[in-house]
Amino acid sequence: MSIIKKVFPLLSFIIIILRYYQCNGIKSDIRHHLGTRTPYRIKCNKDDFKIKFPNCKAHKIWMLLRHGSRLPSAKDIVGAQTVLQNLKYEVLLQHNMGKGLLNKEQLQTFEHWTCDMPQKYDNNSFQFRYTATQRTQQSAKYFSIGLFDKNNAHNVVFEPALKVDNTLRFYKDCDRWKKEVKKNPETFKEQKLYGISKEMNETLSNVSKYLGLDRVLSLDVVSLMYKICGYETSWHKHFASPWCCPFDATSIQRLEYYYDLKHYWSDGYGHNMTLRPACMLLKHMFHTLRNESRNATFLFAHSGTLLKLLAHLQLYKPKSHLRGDYVDDDRTWRASNIDCFASNIAFVMYKCKDGDKVLTLHQERVIKLPMCDKELCPLTLLEEYFHNSIHNCNHADICNVS
């Protein structure tokens, strides 16, 4: 009896883990392919180590952070409450008739699934700033708690959020970017092309068969399943979303690429106009490191902000444009890896005997900028390389439509 008591907690833990992987699958582990909804715990640097450089001392830090996990858009919440809720009952009915490939435990996750998401959703040394959204405000609040502990975090003063913030959301009020990129049909041409490809049609068919349906689900519905799978995976660490169950390693990576095409062409290297206004953020970083008296600056923004800055820095640039008629499995531009929830990029300025230098970290991992020879890069070299970003960066000049 004593042996059973000792073993029981272990068995309970194993059962939880097994249930978690019943949908995800240990080999495919779809958690790594959820695009911009990938949980930070999957991608962040978990190594606990101290970065040290001889004859150098860390002096300042400037950090941009994407908000943490959030609720879906209002459109996707409605879709989950209607389309997926109805699909759930259809799946259960089909399996009662002996159709589909879901096992008993997976069917239970569907049976118990409900969509109850609401439709609304030392200040001289530190600077905290966020955009005028609840998700960045809450991210800033809890980041400060983690940094200073709960008792001291209430003393943190957050700068008022700006309705129009041309630094943290430089693209939102950029009319030229909206015209040339966001509202340009060419921006979404490659994504639409992949959406009607043989591979995507095969994916839609396989997902539908796995669920036991007599019809083939549309791309819109399967995309909604993919999104909700991502959101619910980010919210719950030990339990899987039933909407992850129909995806295997191949299908999840196809959905991942479908959305990589969107972010590449709208937020990355697809259009030069996407990169240009990101100079607003880079100019702020250089000004802060050189001129601000504060030792630390933390800015909380969005996926679109972070991705555009990464592109402006020439990071994760593929050898050629991503296309809808060819899947680059080895691409460096993969949102699951570079833009998960709470993704971040930091610049740490070091005072060294041979001058000021800058270390760049992405998601807490040291990364070498392409224009630098080493990870610790001279500040003067970066200022020279990004001269236009610092001195010829005016939001009105860049964004006004002539």
The larger pLDDT score, comparing residue 49 to residue 14, is at 49
Residue type, 159: E
Q: Which residues contact 274 (CB under 8 A, 6 or more apart)?
A: 171, 177, 181, 266, 267, 268, 308, 311
**How confident is the model at residue 237, as a pLDDT?**
81
The larger pLDDT score, comparing residue 31 to residue 256, is at 256
**Which of 23-32, 164-173, 252-261 has the largest mean confidence?**
252-261
What pLDDT band is residue 16 in, cutting at 50, 70 and 90?
Answer: very low
Q: 3-class SS at 367?
A: strand
171 backbone dihedrals φ, ψ, rounded to 5°: -90, -20
Residue type, 81: Q
Does 51 score more than 50 pLDDT? Answer: yes
Q: Which residues contact 329 (CB under 8 A, 6 or more apart)?
A: 253
Q: How far apart are the first and last CA of the chain?
A: 81
Comparing 84-98, 130-144, 304-318, 360-374, the range with the smallest average pLDDT is: 130-144
How far apart (Å, rounded) are the C-alpha atoms in residues 158 and 179? 33
- Give the CATH fold of the 30-76+123-399 domain: Rossmann fold (3.40.50)
Please say whether the beta carbons of 297 and 288 come within 8 A. Answer: yes
Does 122 score more than 50 pLDDT? Answer: no
**How confident is the model at residue 21, as a pLDDT?**
44
**How confident is the model at residue 4, as a pLDDT?**
35
The larger pLDDT score, comparing residue 122 to residue 324, is at 324
What is the pLDDT averaged over residues 366-395? 95
Please say whether the beta carbons of 59 and 351 come within 8 A. Answer: yes
How far apart (Å, rounded) are the C-alpha atoms in residues 338 and 38? 10
**How confident is the model at residue 130, as a pLDDT?**
56
What pLDDT band is residue 80 in, cutting at 50, 70 and 90?
Answer: very high
What percent of the chain has pLDDT above 90?
Answer: 62
Q: Which of these, 231, 225, 259, lies nearest to 244 by C-alpha position?
A: 225
The larger pLDDT score, comparing residue 13 to residue 320, is at 320
142 backbone dihedrals φ, ψ, rounded to 5°: -75, -25
**How confident is the model at residue 292, as a pLDDT?**
77
Q: 3-class SS at 350?
A: strand
List, for residues 169-197, the tens digit of each pLDDT value.
778 889 999 999 999 999 999 999 999 99
Please say whether the beta carbons of 247 and 199 come within 8 A. Answer: no
**How confident is the model at residue 387, as a pLDDT?**
96
Please say whether the beta carbons of 229 and 30 come within 8 A. Answer: yes
Does 145 score more than 80 pLDDT? Answer: no
Does 11 score more than 60 pLDDT? Answer: no
List, for residues 263-292, the tens digit of each pLDDT value.
999 999 999 999 999 999 999 999 999 987
What pLDDT band is residue 71 in, cutting at 50, 70 and 90?
Answer: confident
Residue extents of the structural domains in the chain? 30-76+123-399
**How confident is the model at residue 360, as a pLDDT?**
96
**How confident is the model at residue 132, as a pLDDT?**
57
The larger pLDDT score, comparing residue 85 to residue 159, is at 85
Does 82 score more than 60 pLDDT? Answer: yes
The larger pLDDT score, comparing residue 13 to residue 83, is at 83
Q: How high does pLDDT run on average in the chain?
A: 84
**How confident is the model at residue 165, as a pLDDT?**
67
Does 25 score more than 70 pLDDT? Answer: no
* pTM beyond 0.75: yes
For residue 297, the number of C-alpha atoms closer than 13 Å in the C-beta half-sphere is 22
The dihedral through the CA atoms of 335, 274, 224, 67 has a sign that is positive
Q: Which of these, 167, 160, 190, 177, lies nearest to 260 by C-alpha position?
A: 190
What is the pLDDT averaged over residues 293-315? 90
